[in-house]
Amino acid sequence: MRVLVVEDERRMAAALRRGLQAEGFAVDLAHDGNEGLHLARIGDYDVVVLDIMLPGMSGYNVCKQLRAEENWVPILMLSAKDGEYDMADGLDLGADDYLTKPFSYVVLVARLRALLRRGGGRRPAVLRAGDLSLDPAAREVTRGEAPVELTPREFALLEYLMRRPGEVVSKPEILEHVWDTYDTDPNVVEVYVGYLRRKIDTPFGRAALQTVRGAGYRLASDGG
């Protein structure tokens, strides 16, 4: 899933990006409030990690402006301020969660996944396509009762497809959301689709992951 991290401390921002990418997220960075607001407006993000103390425009104002524009992307605010009124201000302005620095990375990831499950009422806790299930929080995939072991990249690819069941998704879209880039050789998508098929379909005699020639890939909503 795509995450926008708006953080002016560049070393922290880079560390967050590396850690979240290792968890299978695609991550964009912004280092000031104006850039963060611009990217949040034009980008199809699943969640925003937003620092409060930012140059140009504060995180409070970024959040306030997004909500005024009816942009309901889930927002997790970060702040060195741990006062109850600071937290209340952030939540009152429309943030979905608030975490004070220094924070536990494990807790940050858990809260992001909780926001992804809740986000806008359109993300169920467990994604299902027939008897194929994916639990984003537990990082588990099953086909019927059988567990399916996936690498982080395979998991991210399957999660993206399962959030759009029955839809044809192009290689460029997959590269943007799963690889966080347009520059990677598009053939890598085909390679990973093959890896996934050998794990979620072939052993079970199914054909959930379909190639739509000239258009992209589709995950059958009935699980194949």
pLDDT tens-digit readout, 173-223: 888 778 765 566 778 999 999 999 999 999 999 999 999 998 999 999 999
Does the bond joining 186 to the residue before it have cis omega, within 30 degrees of 0? no
Q: What pLDDT, on a 0 to 100 scale, did the predictor assign at position 123?
A: 44
Residue 94's pLDDT is 81
Integer Cα distance of 69 and 67 in angstroms? 5
Rg over alpha carbons for the chain, rounded to the nearest Å, is 18
Distance CA 186, CA 170 (A): 10
The model's pTM is 0.58
Q: What pLDDT is stored for residue 11 in this prediction?
A: 93
State yes or no: pLDDT of 144 exceeds 90. yes
Report how far apart, in Å, the C-alpha atoms of 171 and of each of 151, 157, 178 are. 19, 11, 10
3-state class of 142 per DSSP? strand
